[in-house]
Structure 1
Amino acid sequence: MTRSWRRSYGLLVALCFLPGLASAQTYSSFREAMAAGQTQLRSRNFAGSQAPLEAALQLAKTDEQRLQAYEALQPAYRQLPDIDKMTEAYEFIVRHTDTTAGRSLSAAAYASFVYQRGQGDKTIERYEARLKQDRDDLPALSALSALYSRTRRDKKERENEVETRLKRLNTEMAVKKAETLEQQAEENKMISAWLWKNAAIAWLEAEDPPRARKAAEKSLQAPPEARTEILTMMWREGLGDVFLAAGDKPAATREYAEAVKVAPSDPLRKNVEKKLGALETAEKK
């Protein structure tokens, strides 16, 4: 075996064991690799989507891009014989999803996945061990909450302990998010209405309706959101949701009505009309 042949053979073996590296070299950018993976997903070729999406993961330059790649990789990872890659994706997604609802959905899906694989109890043991090292381990708390509530009803006391700790952590994260959005709203006058609306929603997530309503009122005091019709509709609808949750039904009705006026399509308009109709029906009772 000549030295050059051995070198070529070694490179071939390395590429076989590093498919992600080989795939990353196939694409010139994150966007190109994601597009290739999404084409496979649309064809329901989940196995075929793995290589280009893992290439996108390697080519990603921001956590936002990595989040997109991991979310897209989940159908492929569900088909693998082990749970390691799905666990890797789940943990990244939970750490980088900025809403309690989004994190909860990811944890529920992951809990269902490991339970179906017969790995529920082992996953509980693994994450309980991690909590001994870090009581605020977000992926561990989220997964344990979902697993205990769905698969271990005999552990109700422990479920309540985990849920209490997770709720506190989620509230702290929501408060931090709301405060950050308020600061951004003060600094970015051109889009302050949109940012104040998002801050109001975050305060609702933090279970602070008075601050949510205050942020919503500041959103209305700012220059109206007018970048596109759909953003204007989403702004008005979001404010309607906030006012409704804060107990101000007249303000919610007003904002939903404004959203209906600017909705750029029938499906979007009908969705808001349902909210408006339900509110008006409730007022008549």
Structure 2
Amino acid sequence: MKLLRHGPAGAEKPALVDSDGKIRDLSGLVADIGGDVLSDAGLARIAAADLKTLPEVSPGRIGPCVAGTRKFICVGLNYSDHAKETGKAPPEEPILFMKATSAIVGPNDEVEIPRGSVKADWEVELGIVIGTRAKYVSEDKALDHVAGYCVVNDVSERAFQSERGGQWTKGKSHDTFGPIGPYLVTRDEVPDPQNLALWLDVDGVRRQTGTTANMIFGVRHLVSYISQFMTLEPGDIIATGTPPGVGLGIKPEPVFLKVGQVMTLGIEGLGDQRQQTIEAKD
């Protein structure tokens, strides 16, 4: 299933894309796309519904595809070809950092360039959406705790990230730095998350082209590994790293985002995003 949330920010309603590509309102069936709805039982209840009887909607704004996210966990340098472009050795264990949940916005919402920014950057990433509580899970059970997958743009400010005291979170957490969606695609529709094409353009110029096959640590390993350090809860998101082509890695000179540019990005089977950059708001 392709689940989504639509409507004004903070007042989104749950919906689903049916087999004909029509968007059907789920408000009469579930309160939102989050919590227990993300469990296997919750998703099965939606799948069992007669979708043709649900109201068709014209969604307007598409919101973040998941509600109630408590942790937004990111993985650094998780593509062998991206690690190479940064000049760093591939990590021996996953590099983890947190992105503020207040950075989460819809897939086509505007992205703010922070005040004082000189190195704003883009990163298309596969997002894992947790469906059921995961603590100390094994790799062979890891996918049982995954509701599905989504597109993430892990927008970053490299100067804040690396030149302001070494705190990656500073460069990752500005408001709007976490577009997710448009869809939460349930795991049954993604039989192999390690075989998905990713891409990102800036102003129509292709910047990133990659495949999740080049992940150093795959989805199963990441869910299991992270669950050894913290409990993963329904609605938590894991951004799994980015392929090469980020602005920081462009030769001979890095290229960074400025106000008035447009990012378009997507992942095979998971949908596309489009964001225009604007000046940061109060």
Q: TM-score, normalised by structure 2?
A: 0.21
Which has the larger strand fraction? Answer: 2
- Which structure carries more relative contact order (alpha carbon 8 Å, separation 6+)? 2
* Max Rg structure: 1
